[in-house]
């Protein structure tokens, strides 16, 4: 067990002898628990926890964390219980292991639900003890390093989750090396061909540009020496994914990405950072707009550094980072510097407190998410890496995601400020609440006691805190204006059915509440007022309970579909109805009204307990609808361009396109935006004029 010997050697370098013995016991315990188990690659399973523990030794994590890493899968994958772990290695280790164990014993309806609950549990444990996420990141890093033995679809799923969740968490915690490696490994499995091509190109460039890099390094060192600045100067190669993102965002070929190397200058004190900056700006000309001062305004993960880009020799742009050795410790290890550098330095302690505060705020906003997709959306939004820095009227700096609006700012100050904001002054000027904030803006929120969140805010807020509090407010608003408005709409629908609202007594309402599973009449009325339920559907349900409306009267009152009902009315993906199609509505419990075409094959495959309702299109609809068409075309060059041009000339947008080979022909599958059936007919007429088009099917 070479890995076990290496681990003991590594922990012996910084742990007490007694703690090293505990680690030795944990290695033996893990080996026994995983006896006979193998990984997908065929390696003994115990090799994985050993590798995870070794990753953590580079951060100098304490004995409890190392032992938890060695045992992180024993509760999940073996017969060992949390209680047994607590009895042998102590309660803190058991709590770490429990925080890392998935919720496999609970059955979830979807993979997304399971994923959301696992993240929720991990974040709760992480808020109590940040070591949970450090172990989890090491676990994910080793899994990504050994992912090639997995099936392709599973590789892609794990890589996407890593890119969207784990890499941003590593970035948010300041674990720069882990963040970059997770990005590169995710990119490798999400886009294997692009990764291979770039890796080869980078290897070639490494040799070709070595002379230029050495020349720049010598020039920087000589310049700093002239100013009597003691500094360590190093060159660093950018990671493959960051090069790819630059190529993608600026539409560059690899040969056009000149700054694949960056340079780092480490100085002894705060003042020397700015002196070094001035010296280097005298050596090479700075590129305007490419200077960032993260020392005066640190990033939310505690990162501090000066960033500047200069015109180097041969016109090569040079990216330079200037920071102190103390700043470099935090830039390199982030929150893990708490263990790696036991100096008790104020900036390290402050970072630890800020991380804990961020976790508490994140959990507060995520706790208000009602379903898994909403939870994961909030989590991803909160981990969005780019920030803007704005000022409160008292000069306090707040960090917000790029694209954040005045409403996001209001909620970041305090929930009550967000709930009652009515206007905003940015740099002493009154601007709309949806205004995106920029670096350096001074923001002052104007509030009113009786103001309430506006549902329209959800269209432009970016932070999870703002979004969750707005949604929470709207979901709990079951009385007042929304219920009153809902009652008016319901009465209107009952009158249309020839029913008097006062005839709908307590018995009718109690039966309706039992059938729908809703607790109160107020909730149903509020749902109608907020557009979550259709007034005509509720009126029909009420009226049919007492049979106070005849079948003829009910049949004569079809529900009018306008296309703007929001979530209350959905259009079936199987048949994609559009205005002009004969349609029918299917009412399913808890899912609202689903509109199908009357000849939809899926609709007639089998009826469960759902209710079918007559629906008709409103005569005045002004919104586009998605429709799917399939074109069989001859395999000739330029045919896709001709088809796209014809669709554009017919004033339609292409939402999606893919193709399949069908013998000598190609099938093009389009999702188009159309206004109605007549508009679709015009598009199909234009497409039939193309000689290569053999057949069109909706």
> Which residues are known to be catalytic?
76-77
DSSP 165: I
Measure the CA–CA gap between 118 and 165, rounded to whole angstroms.
Answer: 12
DSSP 164: I
Specify whether the CB–CB gap between 307 and 320 falls below 8 A: yes
Q: At what angle do helices 346-366 and 325-333 cross, to 10 degrees?
A: 30
DSSP 287: P
Specify whether the CB–CB gap between 538 and 493 falls below 8 A: yes
Token pair 């970059």 is found at: 180
Specify whether the CB–CB gap between 378 and 365 falls below 8 A: yes
**Dihedral over alpha carbons 661, 662, 664, 670 (to 10 degrees):** -60
Q: Three-state DSSP class for 396?
A: coil
Q: Residue 33 is inside which H or E element, if any?
A: helix 17-33
Measure the CA–CA gap between 139 and 142, rounded to whole angstroms.
Answer: 5
- Whose CA is closest to 171, among 321, 385, 3, 27? 385
Contacts of 81 (CB under 8 A, 6+ apart): 75
Q: Residue 125 is inside which H or E element, if any?
A: helix 111-128
Strand partners of residue 265: 233, 322
Whole-number CA gyration radius for the chain: 31
Measure the CA–CA gap between 663 and 645, rounded to whole angstroms.
Answer: 25
């Amino acid at each position: 067990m070479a890995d076990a010997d290496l681990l003991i050697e590594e922990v012996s370098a910084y742990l007490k002898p007694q703690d090293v013995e505990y680690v030795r016991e944990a290695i033996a315990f893990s080996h026994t628990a995983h006896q006979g188990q193998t990984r997908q690659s065929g390696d003994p399973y115990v090799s994985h926890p050993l590798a995870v523990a070794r990753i953590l030794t580079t951060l100098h994590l304490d004995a409890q964390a190392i032992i938890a890493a060695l045992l992180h899968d024993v509760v999940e994958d073996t017969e060992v219980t949390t209680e047994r772990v607590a009895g042998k290695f102590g309660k803190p280790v058991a709590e770490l292991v429990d925080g890392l164990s998935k919720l496999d014993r609970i059955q979830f309806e979807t993979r997304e639900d399971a994923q959301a609950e696992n993240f929720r549990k991990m974040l709760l444990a992480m808020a109590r003890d940040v070591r949970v996420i450090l172990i989890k990141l090491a676990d994910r890093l080793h899994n990504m390093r050994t992912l090639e033995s997995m099936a392709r679809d599973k590789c892609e799923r794990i890589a996407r989750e890593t890119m969207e969740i784990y890499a941003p968490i590593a970035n948010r915690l300041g674990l720069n090396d882990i963040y970059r490696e997770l990005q590169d490994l995710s990119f490798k499995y999400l886009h294997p061909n692009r990764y291979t091509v770039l890796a080869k190109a980078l290897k070639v460039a490494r040799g070709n540009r070595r002379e230029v890099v050495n020349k720049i390094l010598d020039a920087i060192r000589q310049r700093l020496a002239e100013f009597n600045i003691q500094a360590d100067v190093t060159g660093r190669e950018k990671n493959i994914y960051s090069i790819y993102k630059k190529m993608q965002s600026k539409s560059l070929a690899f040969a056009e990405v000149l700054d694949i190397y960056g340079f780092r200058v480490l100085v002894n004190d705060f003042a020397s950072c700015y002196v070094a900056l001035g010296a280097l700006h005298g050596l090479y000309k700075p590129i305007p707009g490419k200077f960032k001062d993260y020392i005066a305004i640190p990033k939310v993960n505690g990162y501090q550094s000066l960033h500047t880009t200069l015109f180097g020799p041969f016109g090569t742009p040079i990216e330079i980072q200037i920071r102190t050795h103390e700043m470099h410790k935090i830039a390199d290890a982030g929150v893990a510097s708490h263990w790696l550098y036991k100096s008790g330095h104020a900036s390290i302690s402050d970072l630890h407190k800020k991380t804990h505060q961020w976790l508490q705020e994140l959990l507060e906003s995520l706790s208000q998410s009602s379903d898994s997709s909403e939870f994961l959306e909030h989590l991803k939004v909160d981990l969005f890496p780019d920030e803007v820095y704005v000022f409160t009227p008292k000069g306090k700096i707040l960090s917000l995601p790029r694209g954040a609006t005045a409403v996001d700012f209001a909620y970041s100050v305090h929930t009550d400020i967000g709930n009652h904001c009515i206007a905003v002054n940015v740099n002493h000027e009154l601007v709309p609440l949806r205004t995106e904030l920029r670096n350096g803006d001074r923001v002052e929120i104007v509030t009113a006691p009786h103001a309430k969140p506006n549902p329209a805010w959800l269209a432009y807020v970016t932070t999870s805190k703002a979004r969750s509090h707005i949604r929470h407010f709207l979901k709990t608003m079951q009385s007042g204006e929304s219920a009153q408005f809902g009652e008016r709409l319901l009465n209107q629908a009952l009158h249309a059915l020839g029913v008097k609202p006062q005839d709908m007594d307590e018995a009718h309402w109690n039966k309706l509440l039992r059938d729908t599973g809703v607790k109160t009449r107020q909730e149903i009325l509020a749902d109608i007022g907020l557009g979550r339920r259709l007034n005509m559907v509720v009126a029909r349900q009420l009226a049919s309970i007492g049979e106070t409306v005849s079948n003829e009267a009910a049949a004569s009152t079809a529900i009018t579909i306008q296309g703007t009902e929001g979530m209350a009315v959905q259009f079936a993906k199987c048949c994609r109805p559009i205005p002009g199609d004969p349609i029918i509505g299917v009412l399913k419990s808890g899912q609202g009204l689903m509109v199908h075409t009357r000849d939809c094959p899926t609709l007639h495959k089998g009826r469960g307990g759902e209710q079918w309702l007559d629906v008709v299109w409103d005569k005045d609809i002004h919104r586009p609808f998605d429709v799917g068409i399939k074109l069989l075309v001859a395999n000739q060059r330029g045919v896709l361009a001709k088809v796209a041009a014809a669709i554009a000339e017919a004033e339609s947008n292409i939402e999606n396109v893919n193709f399949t080979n069908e013998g000598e022909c190609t099938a093009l599958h389009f999702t188009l935006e159309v206004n109605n059936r007549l508009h679709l007919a015009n598009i199909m007429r234009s497409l039939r004029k193309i000689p290569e088009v053999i057949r069109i099917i909706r």
